[in-house]
Each structure stands twice: as structure tokens, then as C-alpha cells.
Amino acid sequence: MTLRHLKIFVAVCDCGGVTRAARRLYLAQPAVSLAIHELEQYYGVPLFERLSRRLYITPEGERLLSLARQITALFGEAERTVHGDGLGRVHIGSSVTIGTCLMPGYVRAFEERYPGTRVQVTIENSGTLEERLLQNGIDFALIEGVVHTPQIEAEPFLDDELTLVCPPGHPFALRGRATLQELGNERWLLRERGSGTRELFDSALLTKGLRLEPMWESINTRSIVNAVRTGLGVSVLPAALLRQDFARGTLVRVPIEGLDLRRKFQLLRHRSKTLSGAAQAFIALVRELGAAPMDDFR
């Protein structure tokens, strides 16, 4: 069994079949099929079920895939490091709020310290980033949500809070507060399911026996902000994103009586993944800086 076998195996899993994997790797299809056969012979277990000319990965294959991704990623990191490419590279996942408020400052500070290191950032909702961690698609992630799988460990690194927001003339803004009983009478403009913001809000409401159906769902926080400004409804969003809006008076933050919307920003990593020097250095910087590089949301 060689590194080549593992690279071919990962490609077959990613491409969903031998033919497409062969195209990606610029190999003949029989060579890819032979490599998979040799792997199965080496380990003495089937890695795929072959049904109706399609491949379905087996539980044994799933276990090998997780390790194969890590091994091939580490080999690539070794190549880049030995060839003098600084600390190599780091691929970070970030949820929207952190990507907007914190990540630009983190990346700027990191590149000043390690100018030879390549930083790649992927911004997605928290649920998608958790899936990417499980697939070894990113080194680690900074999110606002909670962890759903035991293979991922979470480290809180910063406090945050959600807040109800509405336009200045709204009754909530004029009175300076909202009650739980009044929430069901509003038109809600919310982030999509799977985002950390939406998950916390929905969970907090469920503890009070409430559930709200939004009239507007979006992956784009700024589109929600603009809709709230024009009076289409109200929302619950991270307070850190809206400091300029509050200062200008275009939006008003309103406490909801009896509802705790505090949360922690979390650093996520796969328990089995060995982090590169670049990833470890970036994590150390995040712990050091905390909220220091937070930028205004525009």
C-alpha cells in the first residue's frame, strides 16, 4: 500500500466513481480500478459495494477515507514546508459573523507575522463548516454555532450576543423592550437554517415553548438588515455586526424580556486531525487577539 493508492482512493470517493476519478488524476480507468482492488486485497475488506454499476462506500471504506484524507493532506503540507514555503498554508472555515467582523483582522495580523504562508478562508454557515471538517476539507473552523458530532472538538474563544433589531419607528423601538408574547405578531426576517445565529434563536425560543415561521430567510445578513430598515419586519442578528447601524440610528436594538441570547464563538477542529505548523500558529493568534481586530460591518 502506497501514498498513490490512498490518493486514488480519495479521488474515487470524491468523484463518486472510477471513471471521473481517472479523468481527474489523468490516469487510465483500469489503473484506478487496479489500485482500488489492491487496496482491498491489502486490507482484506471490501471498500466499496458494487451495485448496478455504481460504487457505494462501505463502513470500512469510510474509516479508511477519514485517515487517507489526513495522510494525503499531511504529505502535501510536508512538501510545501520542505520546499521553503514559509509555514506552508492553512485553510480556515469561518461562519458569516466571524468572517465579517474578525477574520479580516486575523488574516492581516497573521500575514504580517508569517509573510511566506498562504491563508485560504472559506465562509459558510456553521452546519456546512462542520461537514467540511468531517471531510478534511478545511484545517479548522471558527463558528458561532454548536457542535453536533463527537468527532469534532470545540474551544470557546470569545463571547457574543444576539439582539432583536427593528427600525426606529417600530413600537418595540419606541418602548425600548419586547415581550415573548409579542413575538408571534411580528413579521420575521431571519438567517437560514443551519446558521449559528438561526440555531441559537430557534433553540432559545423552544425553551420557552415558542416557534416562529419567518417570512424571509437569507444567507446574506446585509439583505436582512436592509429589509428591516425598510420596515418589512424585525430580526434577531449578532450585535457585533450592527454597531454602525446602531450608531447612525438606522436600526434599534431591543431586549426581549426573559430570553437569553448570549453565546460563545468557538474554534472547531477534528479530533483525529494533525494540524500543520501554519494552522497551529493561526490558532495561537486567535487565542491571543480575541476581539482585538473586530471591524465594523459595512
pLDDT by residue (tens digit) across 177-191?
999 999 999 999 999
* pLDDT band, residue 256 (cuts 50/70/90): very high
φ/ψ of residue 240, rounded to 5: -65, -30
Between CA 93 and CA 139 the distance in angstroms is 8
Average pLDDT over residues 232-240: 93
For the cut 50, the answer to whether the pLDDT of residue 282 exceeds it is yes
**What is the structure's pLDDT at 296?**
41
* pLDDT band, residue 293 (cuts 50/70/90): low
For the cut 80, the answer to whether the pLDDT of residue 209 exceeds it is yes
Query: What are the structural domains of the chain?
Result: 3-82 (1.10.10.10), 89-157+264-289 (3.40.190.10), 160-262 (3.40.190.10)
Give the H or E element holding residue 280. helix 277-289
For the cut 90, the answer to whether the pLDDT of residue 252 exceeds it is yes
For the cut 50, the answer to whether the pLDDT of residue 297 exceeds it is no
Q: pTM of this prediction? A: 0.65
For the cut 50, the answer to whether the pLDDT of residue 59 exceeds it is yes
Query: Could you tell me how many residues make up the chain?
Result: 298
Write out the three cell numbers for 176. Answer: 425600548
* pLDDT band, residue 79 (cuts 50/70/90): low
Asked if 98 contacts 115 with a C-beta cutoff of 8 angstroms, the reply is: no
Between CA 259 and CA 179 the distance in angstroms is 9
What 60-63 contacts at long range (C-beta under 8 Å, 24+ apart), as own/partner pairs, is 61/13
- Provide the mean pLDDT of the chain: 88
* pLDDT band, residue 295 (cuts 50/70/90): very low
Percent with pLDDT over 90 in the chain: 57
**What is the structure's pLDDT at 36?**
92
